[in-house]
Structure 1
Amino acid sequence: MECRLSAACLCNMGRVRGNNEDNFYFDGRTMPLDHTSLDKPLLQDVSTSPFAAFGVFDGMGGEENGEVASFVAAETFKDKCRWLREYVAPPQQFLAEASAAMNDAVAAEARKVPGRVGTTGVMLCFSEDEVYCGNVGDSRAYRFHKSALFQLSTDHNDAKFLRDHGVVGRKPRLTQYIGLDPEEMMIEPSYAKEKLQQGDRYLLCSDGLTDMLDNLTLCSILKNSATVQQGVEALMDAALERGGRDNITIILVEVEEVRA
Protein backbone atom coordinates (compact mmCIF):
# COMPACT_ATOMS: atom_id res chain seq x y z
CA MET A 1 0.00 0.00 0.00
CA GLU A 2 1.09 3.55 -0.72
CA CYS A 3 -0.50 6.93 0.00
CA ARG A 4 0.12 10.34 -1.48
CA LEU A 5 0.32 13.19 1.02
CA SER A 6 0.09 16.96 0.66
CA ALA A 7 1.73 18.94 3.47
CA ALA A 8 2.20 22.56 4.54
CA CYS A 9 4.17 24.19 7.36
CA LEU A 10 4.18 27.65 8.96
CA CYS A 11 6.20 28.98 11.90
CA ASN A 12 5.76 32.43 13.46
CA MET A 13 7.32 34.18 16.45
CA GLY A 14 3.92 35.56 17.51
CA ARG A 15 3.01 39.05 18.68
CA VAL A 16 4.52 39.04 22.19
CA ARG A 17 7.75 37.03 22.32
CA GLY A 18 11.04 38.59 21.26
CA ASN A 19 12.48 35.30 20.01
CA ASN A 20 11.27 32.03 18.56
CA GLU A 21 11.92 28.87 20.59
CA ASP A 22 9.94 26.66 18.19
CA ASN A 23 11.39 24.52 15.44
CA PHE A 24 10.16 21.80 13.09
CA TYR A 25 11.10 18.92 10.85
CA PHE A 26 9.31 19.12 7.52
CA ASP A 27 10.30 16.32 5.15
CA GLY A 28 14.01 17.05 5.40
CA ARG A 29 13.85 20.72 6.34
CA THR A 30 14.32 22.44 9.70
CA MET A 31 14.42 26.12 10.67
CA PRO A 32 17.93 27.64 11.00
CA LEU A 33 18.87 29.16 14.35
CA ASP A 34 19.11 32.66 12.86
CA HIS A 35 15.49 32.63 11.61
CA THR A 36 12.51 33.82 13.67
CA SER A 37 9.63 33.03 11.29
CA LEU A 38 8.77 31.61 7.89
CA ASP A 39 7.78 34.31 5.41
CA LYS A 40 5.53 31.90 3.53
CA PRO A 41 4.35 28.32 3.98
CA LEU A 42 6.60 25.40 3.12
CA LEU A 43 4.73 23.03 0.79
CA GLN A 44 5.48 19.43 -0.10
CA ASP A 45 3.83 16.48 -1.83
CA VAL A 46 5.26 13.18 -0.60
CA SER A 47 4.69 9.44 -0.71
CA THR A 48 4.36 7.16 2.31
CA SER A 49 6.60 4.62 0.56
CA PRO A 50 9.00 3.99 2.14
CA PHE A 51 8.03 6.66 4.71
CA ALA A 52 7.42 10.35 5.36
CA ALA A 53 8.05 12.14 8.65
CA PHE A 54 7.18 15.47 10.27
CA GLY A 55 7.80 16.98 13.70
CA VAL A 56 7.21 20.07 15.86
CA PHE A 57 9.50 21.10 18.73
CA ASP A 58 8.80 23.81 21.34
CA GLY A 59 11.93 24.75 23.29
CA MET A 60 12.26 26.18 26.78
CA GLY A 61 15.09 27.77 28.74
CA GLY A 62 16.55 31.18 29.51
CA GLU A 63 18.40 33.41 27.05
CA GLU A 64 18.60 31.53 23.72
CA ASN A 65 18.69 28.07 25.30
CA GLY A 66 15.14 27.18 24.22
CA GLU A 67 15.96 27.98 20.63
CA VAL A 68 19.07 25.80 20.79
CA ALA A 69 17.15 22.92 22.40
CA SER A 70 14.44 22.82 19.74
CA PHE A 71 17.00 23.24 16.95
CA VAL A 72 19.16 20.39 18.28
CA ALA A 73 16.08 18.16 18.56
CA ALA A 74 14.94 18.99 15.01
CA GLU A 75 18.42 18.39 13.57
CA THR A 76 18.79 15.12 15.47
CA PHE A 77 15.40 13.95 14.20
CA LYS A 78 16.55 14.90 10.70
CA ASP A 79 19.66 12.75 11.11
CA LYS A 80 17.56 9.80 12.32
CA CYS A 81 15.27 10.15 9.28
CA ARG A 82 18.33 9.92 7.02
CA TRP A 83 19.31 6.76 8.88
CA LEU A 84 15.81 5.32 8.42
CA ARG A 85 16.08 5.69 4.64
CA GLU A 86 19.09 3.37 4.69
CA TYR A 87 18.10 0.97 7.46
CA VAL A 88 14.38 0.25 7.45
CA ALA A 89 12.95 -0.10 10.96
CA PRO A 90 9.38 -0.44 12.26
CA PRO A 91 7.91 3.08 12.66
CA GLN A 92 7.28 2.88 16.42
CA GLN A 93 10.80 1.55 16.98
CA PHE A 94 12.12 4.41 14.87
CA LEU A 95 10.16 6.98 16.91
CA ALA A 96 11.42 5.47 20.16
CA GLU A 97 15.03 5.48 18.99
CA ALA A 98 14.68 9.01 17.60
CA SER A 99 13.20 10.25 20.89
CA ALA A 100 16.08 8.71 22.85
CA ALA A 101 18.65 10.22 20.47
CA MET A 102 17.03 13.65 20.69
CA ASN A 103 16.92 13.45 24.47
CA ASP A 104 20.62 12.56 24.68
CA ALA A 105 21.58 15.38 22.31
CA VAL A 106 19.51 18.06 24.06
CA ALA A 107 20.57 16.85 27.52
CA ALA A 108 24.20 17.25 26.44
CA GLU A 109 23.49 20.87 25.50
CA ALA A 110 21.55 21.45 28.73
CA ARG A 111 24.55 20.45 30.85
CA LYS A 112 26.45 23.44 29.47
CA VAL A 113 24.07 26.04 30.94
CA PRO A 114 22.25 26.61 34.25
CA GLY A 115 18.52 26.08 34.75
CA ARG A 116 16.00 23.87 33.03
CA VAL A 117 16.58 23.51 29.30
CA GLY A 118 14.64 21.26 26.98
CA THR A 119 11.99 20.99 24.31
CA THR A 120 8.75 19.25 23.57
CA GLY A 121 8.55 16.96 20.58
CA VAL A 122 5.63 15.59 18.60
CA MET A 123 6.35 13.50 15.52
CA LEU A 124 4.39 11.72 12.81
CA CYS A 125 5.84 8.88 10.76
CA PHE A 126 3.76 7.85 7.74
CA SER A 127 4.52 4.39 6.36
CA GLU A 128 2.53 2.69 3.59
CA ASP A 129 -1.13 3.04 4.70
CA GLU A 130 -0.51 3.84 8.38
CA VAL A 131 0.65 6.77 10.50
CA TYR A 132 2.44 6.51 13.81
CA CYS A 133 2.54 9.34 16.35
CA GLY A 134 5.11 9.78 19.10
CA ASN A 135 5.34 12.64 21.58
CA VAL A 136 7.10 13.95 24.67
CA GLY A 137 5.70 17.09 26.30
CA ASP A 138 2.54 18.97 25.35
CA SER A 139 2.91 19.84 21.67
CA ARG A 140 0.00 18.12 19.98
CA ALA A 141 -0.98 15.89 17.07
CA TYR A 142 -4.57 15.66 15.84
CA ARG A 143 -6.46 13.62 13.27
CA PHE A 144 -9.23 15.48 11.44
CA HIS A 145 -11.64 12.81 10.21
CA LYS A 146 -15.14 13.40 8.82
CA SER A 147 -15.32 16.92 10.31
CA ALA A 148 -14.29 15.72 13.78
CA LEU A 149 -11.01 16.33 15.59
CA PHE A 150 -9.24 13.57 17.54
CA GLN A 151 -6.12 14.16 19.62
CA LEU A 152 -3.48 11.50 18.96
CA SER A 153 -0.79 12.81 21.30
CA THR A 154 -0.80 12.75 25.09
CA ASP A 155 -0.24 15.95 27.09
CA HIS A 156 2.64 15.32 29.48
CA ASN A 157 1.79 18.04 31.97
CA ASP A 158 0.02 18.56 35.30
CA ALA A 159 -3.22 19.98 33.85
CA LYS A 160 -5.33 17.20 35.43
CA PHE A 161 -3.76 17.89 38.84
CA LEU A 162 -4.63 21.59 38.52
CA ARG A 163 -8.23 20.79 37.54
CA ASP A 164 -8.65 18.22 40.32
CA HIS A 165 -7.38 20.68 42.93
CA GLY A 166 -9.21 23.73 41.60
CA VAL A 167 -6.05 25.64 40.78
CA VAL A 168 -6.71 28.48 38.34
CA GLY A 169 -4.48 31.07 36.73
CA ARG A 170 -1.41 28.87 36.33
CA LYS A 171 -0.28 27.36 33.06
CA PRO A 172 0.22 23.59 33.34
CA ARG A 173 3.83 22.51 33.83
CA LEU A 174 5.49 19.76 31.84
CA THR A 175 5.98 16.43 33.59
CA GLN A 176 8.51 15.30 30.99
CA TYR A 177 10.30 16.79 28.01
CA ILE A 178 13.18 16.12 25.64
CA GLY A 179 16.43 17.02 27.37
CA LEU A 180 15.97 15.32 30.73
CA ASP A 181 19.17 13.91 32.20
CA PRO A 182 18.82 10.12 31.79
CA GLU A 183 20.48 9.66 35.19
CA GLU A 184 17.60 11.57 36.82
CA MET A 185 14.60 10.42 34.78
CA MET A 186 14.02 8.37 31.65
CA ILE A 187 11.59 9.86 29.17
CA GLU A 188 8.53 7.77 28.32
CA PRO A 189 7.15 8.87 24.94
CA SER A 190 3.48 8.25 24.17
CA TYR A 191 2.51 6.52 20.94
CA ALA A 192 -0.56 6.20 18.74
CA LYS A 193 -1.28 4.50 15.42
CA GLU A 194 -3.94 5.16 12.78
CA LYS A 195 -4.96 3.67 9.44
CA LEU A 196 -4.78 6.27 6.68
CA GLN A 197 -7.99 7.21 4.90
CA GLN A 198 -8.31 9.46 1.89
CA GLY A 199 -9.33 12.99 2.87
CA ASP A 200 -8.10 12.74 6.45
CA ARG A 201 -5.88 15.53 7.73
CA TYR A 202 -3.21 15.41 10.42
CA LEU A 203 -2.28 18.51 12.40
CA LEU A 204 0.95 18.99 14.36
CA CYS A 205 1.32 22.16 16.43
CA SER A 206 2.99 23.84 19.37
CA ASP A 207 0.85 25.18 22.21
CA GLY A 208 1.10 28.65 20.71
CA LEU A 209 -1.78 27.49 18.50
CA THR A 210 -3.86 25.45 20.95
CA ASP A 211 -3.59 28.07 23.72
CA MET A 212 -5.21 30.56 21.35
CA LEU A 213 -7.80 28.39 19.56
CA ASP A 214 -10.20 25.83 21.03
CA ASN A 215 -11.13 22.58 19.29
CA LEU A 216 -14.33 23.98 17.80
CA THR A 217 -12.36 26.75 16.12
CA LEU A 218 -9.72 24.32 14.88
CA CYS A 219 -12.46 22.11 13.41
CA SER A 220 -14.19 25.02 11.71
CA ILE A 221 -10.99 26.25 10.09
CA LEU A 222 -9.93 22.80 8.92
CA LYS A 223 -13.38 22.08 7.53
CA ASN A 224 -13.49 25.34 5.57
CA SER A 225 -9.94 25.22 4.18
CA ALA A 226 -9.81 23.73 0.69
CA THR A 227 -6.05 23.02 0.77
CA VAL A 228 -3.40 22.42 3.40
CA GLN A 229 -1.80 25.74 2.50
CA GLN A 230 -5.07 27.56 3.14
CA GLY A 231 -5.39 25.56 6.35
CA VAL A 232 -2.07 26.55 7.90
CA GLU A 233 -2.52 30.16 6.81
CA ALA A 234 -6.03 30.38 8.29
CA LEU A 235 -4.94 28.71 11.55
CA MET A 236 -1.97 31.06 11.89
CA ASP A 237 -4.04 34.16 11.12
CA ALA A 238 -6.65 33.15 13.71
CA ALA A 239 -4.03 32.50 16.41
CA LEU A 240 -2.37 35.85 15.76
CA GLU A 241 -5.71 37.64 15.78
CA ARG A 242 -6.46 36.11 19.20
CA GLY A 243 -3.26 37.60 20.58
CA GLY A 244 -0.41 35.37 19.42
CA ARG A 245 1.02 35.26 22.95
CA ASP A 246 3.53 32.50 22.16
CA ASN A 247 5.53 31.17 19.24
CA ILE A 248 3.31 29.25 16.81
CA THR A 249 4.28 26.30 14.63
CA ILE A 250 1.79 24.42 12.46
CA ILE A 251 2.18 21.44 10.13
CA LEU A 252 -0.88 20.15 8.27
CA VAL A 253 -0.80 16.93 6.24
CA GLU A 254 -3.65 15.64 4.06
CA VAL A 255 -4.04 12.12 2.70
CA GLU A 256 -4.67 12.90 -0.97
CA GLU A 257 -4.79 9.35 -2.33
CA VAL A 258 -4.64 5.77 -1.06
CA ARG A 259 -3.25 3.30 -3.59
CA ALA A 260 -3.57 -0.48 -3.35
Structure 2
Amino acid sequence: MPNAAFSLIAAGQTDVGRVRARNEDSFCIGTTGEFAVVCDGMGGHAGGDIASRTAVEVISGFLEDFAPPTTPTTSATNDSDKTLANPVDHDPTVRNALSVARSAVLLANQQIHALNKQRGFAEGRGMGTTAVGLWRLPGSPQMVVFHAGDSRLYRLRDGELRALTRDHSLYQMWLDNGGRGVAPQRNIILRALGTGEEVEPELAVHSLLPDDALLLCSDGLNGMLPDAAIARILGQETVPERACAALVEAANAAGGQDNITVVVARFAKAT
Protein backbone atom coordinates (compact mmCIF):
# COMPACT_ATOMS: atom_id res chain seq x y z
CA MET A 1 0.00 0.00 0.00
CA PRO A 2 1.59 3.35 -0.96
CA ASN A 3 1.50 5.42 2.21
CA ALA A 4 1.40 8.74 0.35
CA ALA A 5 -2.09 7.84 -0.89
CA PHE A 6 -3.41 7.76 2.66
CA SER A 7 -3.97 10.59 5.10
CA LEU A 8 -5.56 11.37 8.45
CA ILE A 9 -8.91 13.05 7.89
CA ALA A 10 -9.88 14.71 11.17
CA ALA A 11 -12.53 16.92 12.76
CA GLY A 12 -13.15 18.13 16.30
CA GLN A 13 -15.84 19.61 18.51
CA THR A 14 -16.00 20.97 22.04
CA ASP A 15 -19.05 21.66 24.18
CA VAL A 16 -19.57 23.11 27.66
CA GLY A 17 -21.99 20.30 28.59
CA ARG A 18 -25.20 20.56 30.60
CA VAL A 19 -23.81 21.44 34.06
CA ARG A 20 -20.63 23.52 33.87
CA ALA A 21 -20.76 27.29 33.40
CA ARG A 22 -17.42 27.49 31.56
CA ASN A 23 -15.64 25.32 29.04
CA GLU A 24 -12.10 24.54 30.23
CA ASP A 25 -11.33 22.11 27.37
CA SER A 26 -9.29 22.98 24.28
CA PHE A 27 -8.25 21.13 21.14
CA CYS A 28 -6.29 21.62 17.95
CA ILE A 29 -5.94 19.75 14.66
CA GLY A 30 -2.83 20.39 12.60
CA THR A 31 -3.15 22.37 9.40
CA THR A 32 -2.29 19.26 7.37
CA GLY A 33 -4.25 16.90 9.62
CA GLU A 34 -1.11 15.07 10.70
CA PHE A 35 -1.58 15.71 14.42
CA ALA A 36 -4.27 16.47 16.96
CA VAL A 37 -4.24 17.48 20.63
CA VAL A 38 -6.97 17.55 23.29
CA CYS A 39 -6.49 19.19 26.69
CA ASP A 40 -8.83 19.27 29.69
CA GLY A 41 -8.09 22.20 31.99
CA MET A 42 -8.35 22.09 35.76
CA GLY A 43 -8.52 24.87 38.30
CA GLY A 44 -11.81 26.67 37.77
CA HIS A 45 -11.28 30.27 38.83
CA ALA A 46 -7.52 29.61 38.84
CA GLY A 47 -7.65 29.40 35.05
CA GLY A 48 -8.21 25.87 33.80
CA ASP A 49 -9.30 27.27 30.46
CA ILE A 50 -6.06 29.26 30.22
CA ALA A 51 -4.01 26.16 31.05
CA SER A 52 -5.66 23.99 28.41
CA ARG A 53 -5.48 26.71 25.77
CA THR A 54 -1.81 27.38 26.55
CA ALA A 55 -0.96 23.68 26.34
CA VAL A 56 -2.73 23.26 23.00
CA GLU A 57 -1.06 26.34 21.52
CA VAL A 58 2.44 25.40 22.71
CA ILE A 59 2.24 21.72 21.75
CA SER A 60 0.67 22.31 18.34
CA GLY A 61 3.09 25.12 17.52
CA PHE A 62 6.06 22.96 18.50
CA LEU A 63 4.90 20.04 16.38
CA GLU A 64 4.28 22.31 13.39
CA ASP A 65 7.83 23.68 13.63
CA PHE A 66 9.64 20.38 14.14
CA ALA A 67 7.97 17.96 11.76
CA PRO A 68 10.28 15.02 11.02
CA PRO A 69 11.34 14.35 7.43
CA THR A 70 9.27 12.08 5.22
CA THR A 71 11.19 8.79 5.38
CA PRO A 72 8.66 5.95 5.47
CA THR A 73 10.46 2.77 6.48
CA THR A 74 7.70 0.62 7.92
CA SER A 75 5.09 -1.35 6.01
CA ALA A 76 1.48 -0.45 6.74
CA THR A 77 0.79 -4.09 7.51
CA ASN A 78 3.15 -3.99 10.49
CA ASP A 79 0.90 -3.84 13.54
CA SER A 80 3.64 -3.78 16.17
CA ASP A 81 1.87 -1.53 18.66
CA LYS A 82 3.95 -0.84 21.72
CA THR A 83 4.20 1.53 24.62
CA LEU A 84 7.60 3.14 24.47
CA ALA A 85 10.00 1.31 26.75
CA ASN A 86 13.31 1.96 25.04
CA PRO A 87 13.53 4.72 22.40
CA VAL A 88 16.77 3.32 20.98
CA ASP A 89 14.78 0.35 19.68
CA HIS A 90 13.23 2.65 17.05
CA ASP A 91 14.73 4.03 13.86
CA PRO A 92 16.14 7.59 13.89
CA THR A 93 13.02 9.20 12.43
CA VAL A 94 10.81 7.67 15.11
CA ARG A 95 13.29 8.51 17.87
CA ASN A 96 13.35 12.10 16.69
CA ALA A 97 9.55 12.31 16.64
CA LEU A 98 9.32 10.86 20.15
CA SER A 99 11.85 13.38 21.38
CA VAL A 100 10.02 16.27 19.74
CA ALA A 101 6.64 15.21 21.16
CA ARG A 102 8.13 14.90 24.64
CA SER A 103 9.81 18.31 24.34
CA ALA A 104 6.52 19.89 23.23
CA VAL A 105 4.71 18.63 26.34
CA LEU A 106 7.58 19.65 28.64
CA LEU A 107 7.59 23.16 27.18
CA ALA A 108 3.84 23.47 27.71
CA ASN A 109 4.28 22.34 31.30
CA GLN A 110 7.00 24.93 31.88
CA GLN A 111 4.89 27.76 30.54
CA ILE A 112 1.80 26.89 32.57
CA HIS A 113 3.89 26.33 35.71
CA ALA A 114 5.50 29.74 35.19
CA LEU A 115 2.05 31.34 34.93
CA ASN A 116 1.09 29.71 38.23
CA LYS A 117 4.21 31.08 39.91
CA GLN A 118 3.52 34.56 38.52
CA ARG A 119 0.07 34.42 40.07
CA GLY A 120 1.46 33.41 43.45
CA PHE A 121 0.19 29.82 43.54
CA ALA A 122 2.15 27.35 45.65
CA GLU A 123 3.64 24.21 44.09
CA GLY A 124 0.89 21.78 43.23
CA ARG A 125 -1.77 24.48 43.23
CA GLY A 126 -3.27 26.74 40.61
CA MET A 127 -4.28 25.82 37.10
CA GLY A 128 -3.33 22.66 35.25
CA THR A 129 -4.41 20.53 32.34
CA THR A 130 -4.38 17.03 30.99
CA ALA A 131 -3.07 16.44 27.49
CA VAL A 132 -3.45 13.71 24.90
CA GLY A 133 -2.24 13.83 21.34
CA LEU A 134 -1.34 11.88 18.26
CA TRP A 135 1.20 12.74 15.59
CA ARG A 136 1.39 10.76 12.39
CA LEU A 137 4.89 10.43 11.00
CA PRO A 138 4.75 11.98 7.49
CA GLY A 139 4.37 9.38 4.77
CA SER A 140 4.33 6.61 7.35
CA PRO A 141 1.66 4.26 8.73
CA GLN A 142 2.85 5.01 12.27
CA MET A 143 1.89 7.60 14.83
CA VAL A 144 3.44 8.87 18.03
CA VAL A 145 0.98 9.05 20.92
CA PHE A 146 1.60 11.19 24.01
CA HIS A 147 -0.48 11.85 27.09
CA ALA A 148 -0.54 13.03 30.67
CA GLY A 149 -3.68 12.71 32.79
CA ASP A 150 -6.99 11.05 32.00
CA SER A 151 -7.87 12.39 28.56
CA ARG A 152 -7.85 9.42 26.21
CA LEU A 153 -7.03 8.14 22.75
CA TYR A 154 -9.16 5.29 21.38
CA ARG A 155 -8.79 3.34 18.17
CA LEU A 156 -11.63 1.56 16.38
CA ARG A 157 -10.30 -1.18 14.12
CA ASP A 158 -12.46 -3.88 12.52
CA GLY A 159 -15.28 -3.03 14.90
CA GLU A 160 -13.14 -3.35 18.05
CA LEU A 161 -12.61 -0.29 20.24
CA ARG A 162 -9.33 -0.15 22.13
CA ALA A 163 -7.97 2.52 24.46
CA LEU A 164 -4.40 3.29 23.40
CA THR A 165 -3.75 5.36 26.53
CA ARG A 166 -4.02 4.48 30.20
CA ASP A 167 -5.35 7.06 32.65
CA HIS A 168 -2.90 8.67 35.05
CA SER A 169 -5.43 8.70 37.87
CA LEU A 170 -5.84 7.40 41.39
CA TYR A 171 -8.84 5.37 40.24
CA GLN A 172 -6.80 3.64 37.52
CA MET A 173 -4.05 2.89 40.04
CA TRP A 174 -6.68 1.38 42.33
CA LEU A 175 -7.92 -0.82 39.47
CA ASP A 176 -4.36 -1.86 38.59
CA ASN A 177 -3.80 -2.93 42.20
CA GLY A 178 -6.82 -5.21 42.21
CA GLY A 179 -9.63 -2.81 43.08
CA ARG A 180 -9.77 -3.78 46.73
CA GLY A 181 -11.55 -1.61 49.27
CA VAL A 182 -13.41 1.61 48.63
CA ALA A 183 -12.88 3.02 45.15
CA PRO A 184 -11.30 6.50 45.07
CA GLN A 185 -12.88 9.34 43.15
CA ARG A 186 -12.35 9.03 39.42
CA ASN A 187 -11.25 12.63 38.92
CA ILE A 188 -8.10 12.58 41.07
CA ILE A 189 -5.32 12.99 38.51
CA LEU A 190 -1.77 11.83 39.22
CA ARG A 191 -0.07 13.50 36.25
CA ALA A 192 -0.94 16.87 34.72
CA LEU A 193 0.69 19.84 33.04
CA GLY A 194 1.37 23.00 35.01
CA THR A 195 0.86 21.94 38.62
CA GLY A 196 4.51 21.01 39.15
CA GLU A 197 7.89 22.04 37.84
CA GLU A 198 8.36 18.66 36.18
CA VAL A 199 6.05 16.22 34.43
CA GLU A 200 6.84 13.19 32.32
CA PRO A 201 4.40 12.44 29.50
CA GLU A 202 3.80 8.83 28.53
CA LEU A 203 4.89 8.11 24.97
CA ALA A 204 4.02 5.29 22.61
CA VAL A 205 4.28 4.31 18.95
CA HIS A 206 1.29 2.73 17.23
CA SER A 207 0.59 1.49 13.73
CA LEU A 208 -2.11 2.76 11.41
CA LEU A 209 -4.11 0.58 9.07
CA PRO A 210 -6.59 1.63 6.36
CA ASP A 211 -10.02 2.49 7.79
CA ASP A 212 -8.75 2.91 11.37
CA ALA A 213 -10.85 5.42 13.30
CA LEU A 214 -9.13 7.37 16.08
CA LEU A 215 -10.82 9.27 18.89
CA LEU A 216 -9.18 11.74 21.26
CA CYS A 217 -11.45 12.91 24.06
CA SER A 218 -11.67 14.58 27.42
CA ASP A 219 -13.27 12.60 30.23
CA GLY A 220 -16.51 14.49 29.69
CA LEU A 221 -17.14 11.94 26.93
CA ASN A 222 -16.03 8.61 28.38
CA GLY A 223 -17.31 9.62 31.80
CA MET A 224 -20.80 9.78 30.32
CA LEU A 225 -20.71 7.03 27.69
CA PRO A 226 -19.58 3.40 28.02
CA ASP A 227 -17.06 2.14 25.49
CA ALA A 228 -19.74 0.11 23.74
CA ALA A 229 -21.76 3.25 22.97
CA ILE A 230 -18.64 5.07 21.75
CA ALA A 231 -17.77 2.15 19.48
CA ARG A 232 -21.30 2.03 18.08
CA ILE A 233 -21.28 5.73 17.18
CA LEU A 234 -17.81 5.58 15.62
CA GLY A 235 -18.88 2.55 13.61
CA GLN A 236 -22.09 4.14 12.36
CA GLU A 237 -20.77 7.63 11.59
CA THR A 238 -17.89 7.31 9.15
CA VAL A 239 -17.60 11.06 8.48
CA PRO A 240 -15.49 12.62 11.27
CA GLU A 241 -17.62 15.78 11.60
CA ARG A 242 -20.80 13.72 12.00
CA ALA A 243 -19.13 11.35 14.45
CA CYS A 244 -18.02 14.30 16.61
CA ALA A 245 -21.51 15.78 16.65
CA ALA A 246 -23.11 12.42 17.49
CA LEU A 247 -20.65 11.75 20.34
CA VAL A 248 -21.19 15.17 21.91
CA GLU A 249 -24.97 14.85 21.56
CA ALA A 250 -24.92 11.41 23.20
CA ALA A 251 -22.76 12.60 26.11
CA ASN A 252 -25.10 15.52 26.72
CA ALA A 253 -28.13 13.23 26.51
CA ALA A 254 -26.51 11.03 29.17
CA GLY A 255 -26.21 13.99 31.53
CA GLY A 256 -23.44 16.22 30.20
CA GLN A 257 -21.85 16.46 33.64
CA ASP A 258 -18.57 17.89 32.32
CA ASN A 259 -17.15 19.72 29.34
CA ILE A 260 -17.03 17.43 26.31
CA THR A 261 -14.29 17.56 23.69
CA VAL A 262 -13.72 15.08 20.89
CA VAL A 263 -11.47 14.78 17.87
CA VAL A 264 -12.23 12.00 15.41
CA ALA A 265 -9.71 11.04 12.72
CA ARG A 266 -9.78 8.36 10.04
CA PHE A 267 -6.79 6.91 8.22
CA ALA A 268 -8.18 6.77 4.72
CA LYS A 269 -7.37 7.34 1.08
CA ALA A 270 -6.51 10.94 0.37
CA THR A 271 -9.05 12.77 -1.76
TM-score by length of 1: 0.84
The one of 38, 54, 61 equivalent to 2:36 is: 54
The one of 117, 131, 135 equivalent to 1:125 is: 135
The one of 23, 26, 45 equivalent to 1:23 is: 26
Quote the Cα distance in structure 1 between the aligned partners of 2:8 and 2:102: 23
How many angstroms does 1:27 deviate by?
1.4
Structure 2 residue 51 is the aligned partner of structure 1 residue 69: yes
Write the mapping of 1:29-178 to structure 2, written as runs, cut at 5 A.
46=32, 52-63=34-45, 65-85=47-67, 90-111=96-117, 112-114=119-121, 115-127=125-137, 128=139, 129-163=141-175, 164-168=179-183, 170-178=185-193
Q: Percent identity?
A: 29
Given that 1:236 and 1:248 are in contact with CA atoms closer than 8 Å, whether structure 2 keeps it comes out as yes
The change in CA–CA distance for 1:105 and 1:131 in structure 2 (over 3 A counts) is same
How many angstroms does 1:55 deviate by?
0.2
The change in CA–CA distance for 1:113 and 1:236 in structure 2 (over 3 A counts) is farther
1:237 partner amino acid: E
Quote the Cα distance in structure 2 between the aligned partners of 1:218 and 1:130: 23
How many angstroms does 1:253 deviate by?
0.3
- Deviation string, structure 1 residues 196-238 (Cα, Å, up to 9, x no partner): 1110011000000000001111111111113111211111110
How many angstroms does 1:62 deviate by?
3.2
How many angstroms does 1:137 deviate by?
0.6
How many angstroms does 1:166 deviate by?
2.5
- Deviation string, structure 1 residues 69-117 (Cα, Å, up to 9, x no partner): 0011111113202321498972211111101111101111121143332
User: Mean alpha-carbon deviation: is it higher for 110-119 or for 206-215?
Assistant: 110-119
How many angstroms does 1:64 deviate by?
5.1
Quote the Cα distance in structure 2 between the aligned partners of 1:63 and 1:234: 30
1:100 partner amino acid: L
SS state at 1:94 partner: helix
Which structure 1 residue ranges, 4+ long, deviate > 4 Å from structure 2?
Answer: 85-89
Structure 2 residue 263 is the aligned partner of structure 1 residue 251: yes
Quote the Cα distance in structure 2 between the aligned partners of 1:120 and 1:241: 24
Given that 1:57 and 1:206 are in contact with CA atoms closer than 8 Å, whether structure 2 keeps it comes out as yes
Aligned pair count reads 235
SS state at 2:19 partner: coil
How much is the aligned-residue C-alpha RMSD, in angstroms? 2.1
